């Protein structure tokens, strides 16, 4: 089977190539990828190359496929798995394998480590360890892009579950956010922040007070139009959006919303020293800070008040991805309509747009960049469809479809792209 894929050969060296995949072994599965969502983690891997902990040292000779937020269909199932998986079935994947025998040990993951599996491809070979670790998951949804978003939603679920709190006089940790507690999401209207707002409002375990901050008013306004204060109130959450750019004392201003008190759970969504330190200052008694922002700088650090660690039991956690239970939870919540992460998506493109998009990802505004891997399309913001549609009927039709859905991506929009966009050159 011939595939067309984005492969990484070194730092900043990504190439769009077509090549023959080997015949699958009995313990492997051939799959067709339809959609992939580009993650900031792919940018970090592309910038660091083999210095990245998940990337092998020999990629110059044995390049790896990139992309790990993908969804598609099984094409050919090896003999070992025919009793568990069926050809034609749709699937999602948990890329965090936690498999000791991987090419780079326990950190091995599709999209970073393997020659023949990654989301930015038309066809892939799923290796045996993915199935052995229970990381190939059935996807019952009708929209492929939702399957791609299950991975980032699982990361959010994992972060919420990783929070922990203590009880004076006991050494037991109570895992998860404080139910009906107070929560702040700092730099919280980017793609993952939007997903966290959605999860915080709709997940059964939720805070009573949710404060979301940022310094970009346009992004705040978009978030507030999608996850409204009124909607949150209907679900029992008091939601506040705060622009801290012009605030003389952001910590005091944010605490004022909580009656001058600190917060039970604080999430930091940007690897920025002042934001981390702001998060530390916002913690209340037994408060937990979640650093949900992987930096590219291996020496990144920030000050943390250890007086409060000692006397107020402040603590910090960090998560890098979710586990298989988290992605199962994400798929379940999405399939039941409890969470709807479509607001994460702000741009859509084809496989030909992946290299430029990945390498420039921090400089491209907006949220998730959704890729249809079998299509040749420039990366275009949903907000720009109407303008582009003045000269291109394809985008005029997409703009009309998205306008019916609060200018958000949808299954109807996906079907239109799959039926009408040009195929990627092979």
My answer on whether 309 and 223 are in the same domain is yes
Given this model, what pLDDT does residue 294 score? 80
My answer on whether 246 and 375 are in the same domain is no
Please write the tens of the pLDDT for every residue from 17-42.
999 999 999 999 999 999 999 998 99
Beta strands in 106-146 (DSSP E): 123-126, 136-138
Confidence of residue 167 (pLDDT cuts 50, 70, 90): confident
Given this model, what pLDDT does residue 380 score? 98
On whether residue 253 sits in a domain, the answer given is yes
Radius of gyration for the alpha carbons in the chain, expressed in angstroms and rounded: 22
Domain boundary residue, one of 139, 170, 189: 139
Q: Is the pLDDT of residue 280 over 80?
A: yes
How many domains is the chain built from? 3
Given this model, what pLDDT does residue 324 score? 87
On whether residue 16 sits in a domain, the answer given is yes
Average pLDDT over residues 46-68: 96
Cα of 403 vs its chain's centroid, Å = 24
My answer on whether 109 and 197 are in the same domain is no
My answer on whether 75 and 222 are in the same domain is no
Cβ pair 6, 15 in contact under 8 A: yes
On whether residue 126 sits in a domain, the answer given is yes
Helix, coil or strand: residue 70: strand
Identify which of 18, 30, 36 has the alpha carbon closest to the alpha carbon of residue 353. 36
My answer on whether 38 and 9 are in the same domain is yes
Angle CA 38–360–330, to nearest 5: 20
The whole model's pTM is what? 0.87
How big is the chain, counted in residues? 426
My answer on whether 95 and 167 are in the same domain is no
- Percent of the chain topping pLDDT 90: 86
My answer on whether 306 and 361 are in the same domain is no
Average pLDDT over residues 390-401: 98
Cβ pair 208, 192 in contact under 8 A: no
The whole-angstrom separation of Cα 259 and Cα 277 is 21
Average pLDDT over residues 265-280: 97
Q: What would the DSSP string read from start to end of 203-246?
A: SSS--SEEEEEES-HHHHHHHHHHS-HHHHHHTT-EEEEEE-TT
Confidence of residue 170 (pLDDT cuts 50, 70, 90): confident
Cβ pair 84, 131 in contact under 8 A: yes
Given this model, what pLDDT does residue 351 score? 98
My answer on whether 167 and 297 are in the same domain is yes
> Could you say which DSSP state residue 384 is in?
G
Cβ pair 29, 76 in contact under 8 A: yes
My answer on whether 62 and 196 are in the same domain is no
> Could you say which DSSP state residue 169 is in?
T
Q: Is the pLDDT of residue 296 over 80?
A: no
Phi/psi for 105 (5° steps) reads 75, -145
Angle CA 214–282–295, to nearest 5: 55
The whole-angstrom separation of Cα 159 and Cα 133 is 21
* Strand duo 123-126 + 29-38: pairing: antiparallel
Give per-residue burial for 84-120: e unless 16+ CB within 10 Å, then b: ebeeeebbbbbbbbbbeebbbeebbbbbbbbbbbbbb
Given this model, what pLDDT does residue 54 score? 95
Range of the domain at 199: 158-317
* Strand duo 368-372 + 182-186: pairing: unpaired
Confidence of residue 195 (pLDDT cuts 50, 70, 90): very high
Beta strands in 230-303 (DSSP E): 238-243, 263-268, 283-291
On whether residue 333 sits in a domain, the answer given is no
Cα of 351 vs its chain's centroid, Å = 19
For residue 33, what are the β-bridge partners?
72
Given this model, what pLDDT does residue 145 score? 95
Given this model, what pLDDT does residue 219 score? 93
Given this model, what pLDDT does residue 189 score? 94
Q: Is the pLDDT of residue 320 over 80?
A: no
Residue 250, number of CB atoms within 10 A of its CB: 21
The whole-angstrom separation of Cα 21 and Cα 204 is 44
Identify which of 37, 267, 247, 282 has the alpha carbon closest to the alpha carbon of residue 145. 37
Average pLDDT over residues 392-407: 96
Please write the tens of the pLDDT for every residue from 353-382.
999 999 999 999 888 999 999 999 999 999
Given this model, what pLDDT does residue 424 score? 96
Given this model, what pLDDT does residue 426 score? 77
Residue 126: give its domain's CATH number: 3.90.180.10
On whether residue 323 sits in a domain, the answer given is no
Given this model, what pLDDT does residue 255 score? 98
Give the sign of the dihedral formed by CA 391, CA 396, CA 397, CA 398. positive
Phi/psi for 42 (5° steps) reads -70, -35
The whole-angstrom separation of Cα 263 and Cα 210 is 10
Look at 206-215, 328-337, 360-369, 416-425 and tell me which has the smallest mean pLDDT: 328-337
The whole-angstrom separation of Cα 381 and Cα 406 is 14
Mean pLDDT of the chain: 95
My answer on whether 18 and 49 are in the same domain is yes
* Strand duo 209-214 + 182-186: pairing: parallel
On whether residue 327 sits in a domain, the answer given is no
Residue 402, number of CB atoms within 10 A of its CB: 21
Identify which of 13, 7, 17 has the alpha carbon closest to the alpha carbon of residue 47. 13
The whole-angstrom separation of Cα 235 and Cα 296 is 37
On whether residue 144 sits in a domain, the answer given is no
Given this model, what pLDDT does residue 15 score? 98
């Amino acid at each position: 089977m011939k595939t067309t894929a984005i492969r990484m050969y070194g730092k900043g060296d990504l190439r769009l190539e077509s090549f023959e995949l080997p015949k699958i072994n009995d313990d492997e599965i051939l799959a067709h990828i339809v959609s992939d969502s580009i993650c900031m983690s792919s940018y970090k891997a592309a910038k660091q190359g083999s210095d990245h902990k998940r990337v092998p040292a020999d990629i110059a000779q044995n390049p790896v496929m990139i992309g790990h937020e993908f969804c598609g269909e099984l094409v050919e199932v090896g003999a070992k798995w025919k009793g568990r998986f069926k050809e034609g079935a749709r699937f999602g994947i948990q890329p965090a394998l936690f498999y000791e025998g991987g090419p780079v040990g326990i950190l091995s993951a599709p999209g970073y480590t393997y020659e023949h599996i990654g989301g930015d491809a038309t066809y892939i070979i799923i290796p045996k360890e993915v199935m052995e670790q229970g990381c190939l998951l059935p996807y019952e949804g009708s929209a492929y892009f939702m399957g791609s978003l299950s991975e980032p939603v699982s990361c959010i679920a994992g972060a919420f579950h990783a929070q922990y709190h203590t009880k004076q006089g006991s050494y037991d940790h109570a895992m998860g956010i404080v139910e009906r507690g107070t929560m702040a999401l700092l730099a919280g209207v980017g793609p993952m922040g939007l997903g966290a707002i959605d999860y915080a409002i709709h997940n059964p375990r939720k805070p009573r007070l949710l404060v979301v901050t940022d310094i970009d008013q346009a992004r705040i306004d978009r978030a507030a139009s999608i996850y409204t204060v009124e909607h949150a109130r209907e679900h029992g959450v008091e939601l506040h959006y705060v622009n801290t750019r012009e605030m003389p004392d952001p910590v005091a201003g944010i605490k004022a919303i909580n009656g001058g008190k600190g917060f039970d759970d604080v999430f930091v969504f940007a690897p920025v020293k002042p934001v981390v330190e702001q998060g530390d200052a916002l913690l209340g008694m037994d408060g937990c800070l979640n650093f949900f922002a992987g930096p590219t700088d291996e020496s990144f650090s920030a000050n943390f008040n250890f007086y409060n660690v000692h006397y107020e039991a402040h603590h910090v956690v960090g998560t890098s991805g979710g586990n298989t239970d988290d992605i199962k939870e994400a798929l379940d919540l999405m399939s039941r309509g409890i969470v709807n992460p479509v607001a994460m998506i702000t741009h859509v493109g084809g496989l030909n747009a992946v290299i430029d998009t990945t390498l420039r990802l921090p400089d491209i505004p907006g949220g998730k960049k959704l890729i249809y891997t079998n299509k040749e399309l420039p990366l275009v913001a949903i907000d720009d469809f109407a303008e582009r549609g003045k000269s291109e009927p394809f985008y005029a039709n997409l703009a009309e479809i998205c306008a019916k859905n609060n200018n958000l991506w949808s299954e109807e929009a996906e079907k239109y792209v799959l039926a009408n966009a040009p195929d990627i050159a092979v």
